[in-house]
Amino acid sequence: MDIMRVAITGAQGRMGLNLIRAAQKEHINLRSVLVKPGSTLIGHDAGELIGINKIGIQITDNIYNIIDHFDCLIDFTNKKSTLANLNICHKYRKSMVIGTTGFNQEDYQLINRLSNDIPIILSANFSIGMNVVLKLLEKTAKIIGNNSDIEIIEAHHCNKIDAPSGTALTMGKTIANIMNWEFDQHAIYSRKGIIGKRQKKSIGFSVIRAGDIIGEHTAMFSNIGERIEITHRVSDRMNFALGAMKATKWLQGKKYGFFNMWDVLGLSSV
């Protein structure tokens, strides 16, 4: 089997730079690097971006310039860009690893539909640790969910544009699924003024946006006299990038399908 050729988009961003570094570290067959239109980086070598020698990959802002040079696109950009790239990858039968968040239900339905023709891994968080946390949330909710006040608290840097984070929503949906709750009917996003007693069977979300916080998430299960807190903190974006490389390697040889990091890590049946 030929080694899958990989392209990375959003290379000018903090996550994009870490993806390039991780690809080099994990010996991924990186062939192409994309930046936003009009970037001053166009024409430079991708190695220069991460402070190493030239690696023979010229940066471009046009996916059609490289469409024959990659088999899988890694995309951690934004909703608009990712969906545009998704349609192109579907047309040309390229696989995708997607770490973008902020999708709505219609977007998820589109991604799911296109995965009937191409393989797609979509995850709000590619950290191995966070995916273990999600499995712990399943176990905890199953045992004490009905007897607990459930809160999710998340903190990110001041430049993050969506709230709550995709990871926080995934945590909530994981809990709701175990409780057989319709997530949208049980999620509480805003509290202000005289709100009365806490609603039973609800999942509250609290959001912090400050400084350069990379990502912190806590799920709290509280009862009278005790509480359980399950927390995950990230101190380096390379954590996400290395998870994305693991997912990319796992995708090799897949013809179609809609996958997530639980599939990659073998946690789906745990």
Please say if 94 is a catalytic residue.
Answer: no
The CATH number assigned to the domain holding 114 equals 3.40.50.720
What are the distances in angstroms from CA 269 to CA 119, 263, 265?
20, 9, 10
Quote the number of domains for the chain. 2
Answer whether residue 175 is part of any domain. yes
Domain containing residue 229? 128-234
Answer whether residue 1 is part of any domain. no
Q: How far apart are CA 247 and CA 261, in angstroms?
A: 7
Which position has the higher pLDDT, 54 or 178? 178
Catalytic site residue from 90, 94, 156, 217: 156
Answer whether residue 83 is part of any domain. yes
Catalytic site residue from 36, 160, 173, 249: 160
Which among 49, 15, 74, 23 is positioned nearest to 242, based on CA atoms?
A: 23
Residue 1 has pLDDT above 90, yes or no: no
Residue 116 has pLDDT above 80, yes or no: yes
Please say if 217 is a catalytic residue.
Answer: no
Residue 69 has pLDDT above 80, yes or no: yes
54 marked among binding-site residues: yes
| 50-65 tens-digit pLDDT | 888 889 999 999 999 9
